[in-house]
Structure 1
Amino acid sequence: MRQQHKTFQAIEVGDGSDGRWAAYARALWQEMEGLLTEEGRTPEGAERVRALFRAHMPELVPVLDRLVGWLNRPAAEAFLTHAALRPFSPACTQTGQNGTLLRNYDFPPDQCEGTIVSSCFLRPVIGMQDMLWGLLDGMNDAGLAVSLTWGGRTAHGGGFAILILVRYLLETCDTVDEAVDRLRSLPVATPQNLTLVDSVKAMTVFVGPDMSPMVAPDACAANHQHLPVTDEQERAMGTQERLRAIRAAGTDVAAMLEPPLYRSVDEQGSRTLYTARYRPVEGRVTYYWPGESWQQSFADFTPGSRTMTLGRAS
């Protein structure tokens, strides 16, 4: 497997009102802005997504207003609603059981922010941030953890990117049941799978713009949902193979760092970028790479940066 290196960082941003989040976001704004849809750049489109955000995530509206003011860039509000972003499709694998959420995140290295963020927008949350304040996975101080995988279908609709929904669920929910109930009223732009864990329950839910939320057979997910996987899809992504593997592995971190769960570079340049093991009741997460790990917690969050090796030595 060809090795590569990527630098990950850990930052604290508080409630977004002291300039730390803005300094981070401004440094990335030029590359982020290109991910906004053409509709989101129009006054009508910007108003539509603002209204959508206001209707479905009212608790986060004051936070959105605060971040927009600090970022102070044209189109910042439309971008930060995450309702006018170009779709993306990470090929990940995840499982939840016994108070643990374990996941591999697979994506092209240069398209992932690689930033572990400790925030307190509405409550303490720690997670792997993307698209400036969305989350690929994370946990809150109530002991709830959530992570995402792409659902494997190309449907698209007028809803939110899954990243902001992970953020919203962690900011506003205490339990898996509460989060799943909240999901039923949230429009999502593309098919996604969410795995949720708290102290007593673990669950995977399939969501999409063309379906109501559907509880999966177990708390495991790769990159398909309730529909059959074609031979072509399986050759390209190995989604059924990975699902079988993670069901067999349970929450064994070592298995996540080996094929087929640990993935080498594919035709799109995607590969496993990190493994995350959340123990949300303990308020602790550990990120893993071959031969290395980095632990963070609510009790002891340590800002800094580390350059990690992606891929295993041949």
Structure 2
Amino acid sequence: MRQQHKTFQAIEVGDGSDGRWAAHARSLWQEMEGLLTEEGRTPQGADRLRALFRAHMPELVSVLDRLADQLDRPQAEAFLTHAALRPFSPACTQIGQNGTLLRNYDLRPEQCEGTIVSSCFLRPVIGMQDMLWGLLDGMNDAGLAISLTWGGRSAYGRGFAILILVRYLLETCDTVDEAVDRLRSLPVAVPQNLTLVDPVKAMTVFVGPDMSPTVAPDACAANHQHLPVTDEQEQALRTQERLRAIRGAGADVAAMLKPPLYRPADQQGSRTLYTAHYRPIEGRVTYYWPDESWQQSFGHFTSGSRTVTLGRAD
């Protein structure tokens, strides 16, 4: 397996008002603003996006205003609504079991922000940030943890990127049941699978622009929602193979760091970028790579950066 390196960083941003979040966001803005669709680039479109955000996530409106003011860039507010972003399709695997959440995140290295963030926008949250304040996975101080995978279908509709919905659920919900109930009123732009864990329950839910939230058979997910999976999709993503593997292995970190769950670079350059093991009851998460790990917690969050090796030598 060809080796590649990627730098991850960890930052504390507080409630977003003291400049730490804005300094980080401005450093990424040039590459991020190109992901905004045409709708978000007009005053009329921006007004529609804000109205959609206000209607569905009113608790976060004050945070949106705070961050947009701090970022101070044209179209910042429209971008931060996450309601007009170009879709992306990460190929991931995840499982909730015994109060823990374990996941592999797979994408091209240059397309992943790679920022572990400790924030207190509405409450304490730690997670892997993407698109400036969305979350690929994370946990809150109530013991709720959530992660996402792409649902494997090309449907697209009016709604939010799943990243901001993970942020919203962690900012406003205490339990799996509360989060799943809230999901029923949140429009999502593309099909996604969410695995949710609290101290007493674990669940995977399929969501999409063309379907109501549907509880999966168990608290595992790869990159499909319905069967049959086409031969082409299975060849490209090995989604059924990975789902069988994680069901067999359970929440086993060692299994996540080996094939077929740990994925080498494919023809598009997508590969496993990190493994995250959330123990939300303890307020603790450990990120793993083949040769090292990095632990963070609400009680002891360490800012800094690490350059890690992805994959192993042939």
TM-score greater than 0.5 by the shorter chain: yes
**Structure 1 residue 226, shift from structure 2 partner:** 2.1
**Structure 1 residue 267, shift from structure 2 partner:** 1.5
**Structure 1 residue 291, shift from structure 2 partner:** 1.7
Q: Does 1:206 align with 2:178?
A: no
Tell me what 2:247 maps to: 247
> After TM superposition, which residue ranges in structure 1, 4 or more long, deviate above 6 angstroms?
none
Q: Which deviations, in whole Å up to 9, do the C-alpha atoms of 1:181-240 show, x marking residues without a partner?
A: 000000000000000000000000000000000000000000000242001100010000
Give unpaired runs (5+ residues) of structure 2: none
Q: Match for 1:49: what amino acid?
A: L
**Structure 1 residue 40, shift from structure 2 partner:** 1.1
Tell me what 2:72 maps to: 72
Q: Match for 1:171: what amino acid?
A: E
**Structure 1 residue 13, shift from structure 2 partner:** 0.1
Separation in structure 2 between the aligned mates of residue 268 and residue 148 of structure 1, nearest angstrom = 21
Matches within 5 A, 1:11-26: 11-26=11-26
Tell me what 1:40 maps to: 40
Q: Match for 1:281: what amino acid?
A: I
Tell me what 1:30 maps to: 30
Separation in structure 2 between the aligned mates of residue 295 and residue 124 of structure 1, nearest angstrom = 17
Tell me what 2:189 maps to: 189
TM-score after normalising by structure 1 = 0.99
Number of equivalences: 314
Separation in structure 2 between the aligned mates of residue 259 and residue 182 of structure 1, nearest angstrom = 35
Tell me what 1:93 maps to: 93
Separation in structure 1 between the aligned mates of residue 227 and residue 148 of structure 2, nearest angstrom = 18
Tell me what 1:2 maps to: 2
Q: Match for 1:176: what amino acid?
A: V
Separation in structure 1 between the aligned mates of residue 266 and residue 40 of structure 2, nearest angstrom = 31
Tell me what 2:275 maps to: 275
Tell me what 2:217 maps to: 217
Tell me what 2:129 maps to: 129
Separation in structure 1 between the aligned mates of residue 179 and residue 213 of structure 2, nearest angstrom = 12
Q: Which deviations, in whole Å up to 9, do the C-alpha atoms of 1:5-50 show, x marking residues without a partner?
A: 0010000000000000000000100000000001111112111111
Separation in structure 2 between the aligned mates of residue 250 and residue 139 of structure 1, nearest angstrom = 20
TM-score after normalising by structure 2 = 0.99
Tell me what 1:139 maps to: 139
Separation in structure 1 between the aligned mates of residue 208 and residue 86 of structure 2, nearest angstrom = 15
Give the match's secondary structure for 1:34: helix
Separation in structure 1 between the aligned mates of residue 251 and residue 172 of structure 2, nearest angstrom = 27
Matches within 5 A, 1:162-177: 162-177=162-177
Tell me what 2:263 maps to: 263
Give the match's secondary structure for 1:282: coil
Separation in structure 2 between the aligned mates of residue 9 and residue 21 of structure 1, nearest angstrom = 13
Give the match's secondary structure for 2:286: strand
Bigger mean CA deviation after superposition, 262-271 or 147-156? 262-271
Give the match's secondary structure for 1:91: coil
Tell me what 2:180 maps to: 180
Q: Match for 1:19: what amino acid?
A: G
Q: Which deviations, in whole Å up to 9, do the C-alpha atoms of 1:149-207 show, x marking residues without a partner?
A: 00000000000000000000000000000000000000000000000000000000000
Give unpaired runs (5+ residues) of structure 1: none
Separation in structure 2 between the aligned mates of residue 144 and residue 240 of structure 1, nearest angstrom = 27
Identity %: 88
Separation in structure 1 between the aligned mates of residue 157 and residue 42 of structure 2, nearest angstrom = 18
Separation in structure 1 between the aligned mates of residue 308 and residue 221 of structure 2, nearest angstrom = 26
